[in-house]
Structure 1
């Protein structure tokens, strides 16, 4: 069985392979990869079978985008759209990939649209 990752076209890098240079960014986490602001998914943890367990999306070094949690069978468990530490949308799935909790913005529709436009979220 093969794991199908959300936005599989985006780069994935293990957390240990990224450099956190938060000191130069006001104490906020800011990640670089090979000396450049990181854009892609930081893989935070793996299941024993090697499938990704949890990953966070970064754009230009900042935690902006999707946080994805996966079941051990490789199916998506939940996806939360984040801007920094602020969750703005969340979708949950069962272990067969069926949506159990449809998308529901966690902020006002105006704020949601602002975030999507400002950070070019997809």
Structure 2
């Protein structure tokens, strides 16, 4: 199952230099949005480790640092953990940046079972 989440707001980028109070509000809203979308999609957590596969589909052709994409998506990842009712330490994350663009951007999320370690 693939879930389409909204592109992380620019205020969540480590390069944004956003005031902490505004960043906190934006992060809380983004986390809640991702949680509700995952919950509405009836995503279920497999036992053991969870392979979290992220594909970032940017809103335009500008180059982006992969470490900034992961950092900007932290609130979204926490929202997924909330919806799955798991601790996010169970996530083993892989990610890619799509060569295609989509208006507004998106994050495609898939989950799969991992090892039982």
Query: Normalising to structure 2: TM-score of the pair?
Result: 0.23
Q: Which has the larger radius of gyration?
A: 1
Query: Normalising to structure 1: TM-score of the pair?
Result: 0.23
Which protein has the bigger helix share?
2
Higher relative contact order (CA 8 A, sep 6+): 2
